[in-house]
Amino acid sequence: MSLRATARIAAAADGSLPVLESDGPLAPRRTRAAAPGWTRVTVVGAMSAPLGGDRLAIETEVRDGARLRVDSAAATLALPGRVPHPAAYELRLRVGAYAALHWLPEQLVSAHGSDLRVRTDVDLDATARLVLREEQVLGRHGEPPGTLFSRLTVRRAGRPLLDQELAYGPGAPGGWDGGAVLAGHRATGQLLVVDPAFEEEPVAARPLGEHGALTPLAGPAALVTAVAPDALALSRILDAALTELADV
Amino acid sequence: MTRSALLVLADGRFPAGGHAHSGGAEAAVKAGRIRDAAGLEAFCLGRLHTTGLTAAGLAAAAALGHDPYELDAAADARTPSPALRAASRRLGRQLMRAARATWPGPGLDALAAAFPRGAHQPVVLGATARAAGRGPEDAAHCAAYETAGGPATATVRLLGLDPYQATAVLARLAPVMDEVAARATAAAREGVDALPAASAPLLDITAEQHAAWPVRLFAS
């Protein structure tokens, strides 16, 4: 049985959550925010395991002036399903005027035999701030990866700011493990920080270790891109960047 | 218009400055990721399906006459590395100079006026194909061919790779170039929002490292 489920979150400037809807395996819960002035939502355990054929979605609206952190209680594990169809996981994030979203889920693990299409669509007001982390681990320890397509589209004031699609695994077009794309690395991730303050003072591009780079985008944003041999090495790079860039 | 115009545009001797760029091959050779013809083939295959597809889509869209401002913004959003954005605009400027001398016309004049610092290379490539009387498929084929041809030529110089072997790699990848050009053209016909955004993490990461090398053979 494949399932369809859409969870919804809306955060308001007064710290309330006017919308907090679970659906199927997706259960967003209000949790205690570490930072004053922030609202925190944790998508609990059931977030893991989109199976072949499943269509899961999370819609998040950060209303004008609100500050929301969304994280997850566990890694998301893409697994093969009983039906030979890809699973779909859609994230639709909207951040309003003078609002801020920290989207910091745990890692996505693409298990052997799985086939997952992730689509993340972010719409930002020109005054909005965003911290978004994506970590993809190709295969559980020691196993070959599943197939993963992941598209990230970020628009700011209706204009494209970042648009990327990554494709890995046996169902991806050839060359994904060659010298141009992953070259044998089994974990890859990005940290995106969008802040209107970068308009005046953009970050300077610089390498982060051997397999990472911090780059200013064409708009007011900084992107960390990293590849690593494994999940732990990837987390180290992105966690350090998170502390430096966003003080999270 | 004439099919031979496509050969003129795709020729490595077309004076558009591409010979100074390795398409990421110089960094990959230094890191040991390209050591031989097989490594070159895997590199080019990955590049074709990622940034090659993305560039071919932009070129096809420009050849169809889509709004160049929208395409330029789409190219920026698909190029997170500032080193690669700068290289793309520099190559776009150089191609524009050669293209306006070769196929002068109001379309290229308008694009040059709109982007005095240079539009992204695939956008100029598509506009050039249009000025030469060629369609989106040809523009996409040119972009795909450059995607593999640049690293192949560079690897001959960097590694001393046998040029016959390098050319054989390109010939083996020809069906992939066709496939990439066809996908890119189909997407471009749907509109700017449907353009591919396929990306390659290592190309973005190593482009920044390469740009900081004090001595290098290639500009990117």
What three-state secondary structure class fits A102?
A: strand
What is residue A48's predicted lDDT score, i.e. its pLDDT? 56
> Residue B83: its chain A contacts at CB < 8 A?
205
Residues A204 and A216: their CA atoms lie apart, in Å, by: 7
What three-state secondary structure class fits A69?
A: strand
What is residue B130's predicted lDDT score, i.e. its pLDDT? 97
Angle between helices B121-131 and B53-63 (to 10 degrees): 40
Q: Which residue of B has its CA nearest to A202?
A: B82
What is residue A49's predicted lDDT score, i.e. its pLDDT? 67
| Residue span of the structural domain in which A215 resides | 4-246
Mean pLDDT over each residue of chain B, to the nearest integer: 96
What is residue B136's predicted lDDT score, i.e. its pLDDT? 98
Question: Span B92-105, mean pLDDT?
Answer: 97
What is residue A1's predicted lDDT score, i.e. its pLDDT? 63
Domain ranges of chain B: 21-211
Measure in Å the smallest separation between the Cα of B197 and chain A Cα atoms: 5
> Residue A227: its chain B contacts at CB < 8 A?
201-202, 205
CB–CB contact B43 A178 (8 Å):
yes
CB–CB contact B28 A166 (8 Å):
no
User: Where do the H-state alpha helices sit in B18-162?
Assistant: 25-30, 37-47, 53-63, 68-77, 82-102, 106-114, 121-131, 136-159
Measure in Å the smallest separation between the Cα of B108 and chain A Cα atoms: 24
Which tens digit of pLDDT belongs to each residue from B128-168? Answer: 999 999 999 999 999 999 999 999 999 999 999 999 999 99
Are B153 and B19 contacting, i.e. CB atoms less than 8 angstroms apart?
A: yes
Which tens digit of pLDDT belongs to each residue from B44-98? Answer: 999 999 999 999 999 999 999 999 999 999 999 999 999 999 999 999 999 999 9
What is residue B100's predicted lDDT score, i.e. its pLDDT? 97
Q: Which residues of chain A have pLDDT under 50?
A: 47
What is residue B207's predicted lDDT score, i.e. its pLDDT? 96
As for the ipTM of the complex, it is 0.96
Task: Count CB neighbours of B2 within 10 A.
Answer: 10
How many structural domains does chain A have?
A: 1
CB–CB contact B47 A180 (8 Å):
yes
**Token pair of A97 as six digits:** 């005027």
Matching residue, tokens 């049985």: A1
What is residue B128's predicted lDDT score, i.e. its pLDDT? 98
Taking one residue from A and the other from B, the number of pairs with CB-CB distance under 8 angstroms is: 130
B21-211: CATH, from 1.10.10, 1.10.3470, 3.40.630, 1.10.4190: 1.10.4190
The answer, for B107 touching chain A at a CB cutoff of 8 Å, is: no
What is residue A51's predicted lDDT score, i.e. its pLDDT? 82
Q: Which amino acid is at B60?
A: A
Percent of chain B at pLDDT exceeding 70: 100
